[in-house]
Amino acid sequence: MHWADRTAQDLARRGDNHTIAAGITPSGEFHIGHIREILTGDMIVRACHDAGMDARLLFIIDSIDPLRKVYPFLHSDYEEYIGYPLYRIPPPDVEGRPDLEAEGNYASHFLNPFLDSLKELGVFPELSWNHEAYESGKFEDAARIFLNNRTEVADLLTEVSGRPIPEGWYPYTPIGHNGSMDGLTVTGWEDPYVLWVDAEGKEGRSHIGTAEGKLPWRLDWPAKWAIHGVTCEPFGKDHAASGGSYSTGRKLVQFLGTNPPHPVPYEWIQLKGQGAMSSSTNVFIGPSEALDLVPPEILRFLISLNKPKKHIEFDTGDLLFKLGEAYDSYVVGYIRNHLELKDGDSSRISNIKQDKNASIRFAQVEHGKMPDKINLRGSFRHLSMLAQIRSNDESVWESMRMYGMIDGEPSENLVLRLHRMRKWIASEHFPEGYRIAIQTSITDDAKQAILIRKDITMDTRIRDYYAALVETYETCKWEYQTLQDAICDYAREYGLDLSEAFKMLYLVHLGQDYGPKLATLLPEIPREHAISALRDAISILDEA
């Protein structure tokens, strides 16, 4: 059974109405690690719906969290905002300076593009700005309970996390006169006020039913569970470690009279060769960046295919390419009914079929809709090749029609796919192994291969074949049929096996012994390039 369906099944034992929460601090650029959090939640919600339960996805934006430090992408002017709640900080401009004129705030600045990507991915969560929850007094009861039981809370934190809590600690982080949470010392608790003194010795007080302060993270989290009635929450493995915030949270929430949510810990997404994704170290790929290269269902597929606790080594080259191919092959299996359950299937086989089915189901942008058709197998790779050798879209469709891959006009989806593919190919992200590199002079590898062939056969047929083609290339019509005829006719004339002839030509033009249909490729490149590469090959054979 698919992980999302299993989670839904687990949730069904608790009840039939669920709130699946995802919480993210908008302290910088969002990346596809954050996508995992939201998509994991989204898929669980969908699984609940499919199982006949009520469920909602709640996206809690930790907008009242303080700015921790001046991140590398920020100008040092942000120094003065350290400790400020993110929603009270101006957004950065293009140079990373605080932009006092701009609309919105630091938190919304980073959140908005992320929401656009979510829309494209078919995810529509309910939004809850955490600072608004504080402003409207939703945290008041929880804060009061924790403050009234501060010694028990401190003991529990020490016991579970192993970290000592200093004497005189209060479970509350007030905001000072200057607007920052840093440098304050809480001195007392007089319901509904937390009393404090700042670094300069000035006293003040914060009303816990307002946004004049917040609960520290380890208490803020369980309070959110109670306030929103959270029954399930995916969270990163950092919170899942023993002694981590989930293990303290699940105990602390009992003070508030509710149960902890069903945990769904997930592994982080690594950027291949560069470690964990993190916007603060600039090691990340943004969701919109990824969506520029591949369709949303492929990105969803990445998450649905991998169980939450599985590492994902992400990269924008090979991995995405393989993912695209895998997606297509799953869909082909689905459409051809290979994934239908049969009576004779062993439990192992039926499990695999179910999982594949579900991986496709959760990958769809539109919930409840399954793909109804797709081009023939290998279409992802195929498209990448067509996009490289056919510079205008219409000739791509023409080629696909000719081979029966589409009827009439391409679907909107396919058009989008092609355009993304073109962007990808034009970018540095496209995997080199799939790039068609047209040679104007012969490569060393090709040289070796050609000489070896000569040594084995001891004849000049290849040389003569090349020479005949050069002659033709110089004057012939530079188009498909002429070239195709020339290549094949001369091959026959010089007694060459057709596949051998093609191999020898691929070596010359591409530096490898395979490739796309040559007569289609050649008209896309300047005639002189083809000729110079062939001349190169001839002179090598003459010298040998």
Of residues 409-468, which lie at the interface with RNA (CB under 7 A)?
434-436
Stretch that binds RNA, among 196-204, 225-233, 441-449, 485-493 (CB under 7 A): 485-493
Residue partners of 347: CB distance under 8 A and separation at least 6:
none
Residue count at the site for RNA (CB under 7 A)?
81
Q: Is 166 in the site for RNA (CB under 7 A)?
A: no
Calculate the alpha carbon distances from 163 to 166, 245, 249, 302 in Å.
10, 12, 15, 37
- Identify which of 98, 344, 130 has the alpha carbon closest to the alpha carbon of residue 217: 130
Q: How far is the CB of 100 from RNA (least distance, A)?
A: 25
Residue nearer to RNA on the CB measure, 65 or 297 = 65
Q: Is 498 in the site for RNA (CB under 7 A)?
A: yes
Q: How far is the CB of 202 from RNA (least distance, A)?
A: 22
Q: How many CB atoms lie within 10 A of CB 30?
A: 25
Q: Is 169 in the site for RNA (CB under 7 A)?
A: no
Residue nearer to RNA on the CB measure, 157 or 369 = 157
- Using an 8 Å Cβ cutoff, are 469 and 483 in contact? no
Q: Is 175 in the site for RNA (CB under 7 A)?
A: no
Q: Are strands 173-174 and 213-214 parallel, antiparallel or unpaired?
A: antiparallel
Q: Please pick, from the candidates 136, 499, 542, 544, the single residue that binds RNA as defined by CB under 7 A.
A: 499
- Using an 8 Å Cβ cutoff, are 331 and 298 in contact? no
Backbone angles phi, psi at 210, to 5 degrees: -130, -175
Binding mask 47-86 for RNA (x = CB under 7 A): ---------------x--xx-x------------------
Binding mask 365-404 for RNA (x = CB under 7 A): ------------xx--xx-xxx-x----------xx-xx-
Q: Is 24 in the site for RNA (CB under 7 A)?
A: yes
Q: How far is the CB of 66 from RNA (least distance, A)?
A: 6
- For 18, the token pair is 């669920």
- For 471, the token pair is 């002659």
Stretch that binds RNA, among 12-20, 251-259, 270-278, 442-450 (CB under 7 A): 270-278
Q: Is 488 in the site for RNA (CB under 7 A)?
A: yes
Residue nearer to RNA on the CB measure, 90 or 511 = 511
- Of residues 272-311, which lie at the interface with RNA (CB under 7 A)? 275-281, 309-311
Residue partners of 328: CB distance under 8 A and separation at least 6:
374, 375, 377, 378, 379, 380
Q: Measured in whole angstroms, how far is the alpha carbon of residue 82 from the centre of its chain? A: 30
- Identify which of 285, 293, 282, 333 has the alpha carbon closest to the alpha carbon of residue 312: 285
Residue nearer to RNA on the CB measure, 37 or 212 = 37
Q: How far is the CB of 300 from RNA (least distance, A)?
A: 16
Q: How far is the CB of 330 from RNA (least distance, A)?
A: 11
Written in H, E and C, the secondary structure of 122-177 is CCCCEEEEHHHHHHCCCCHHHHHHHHHCHHHHHHHHHHHHCCCCCCCCCCCEECCC
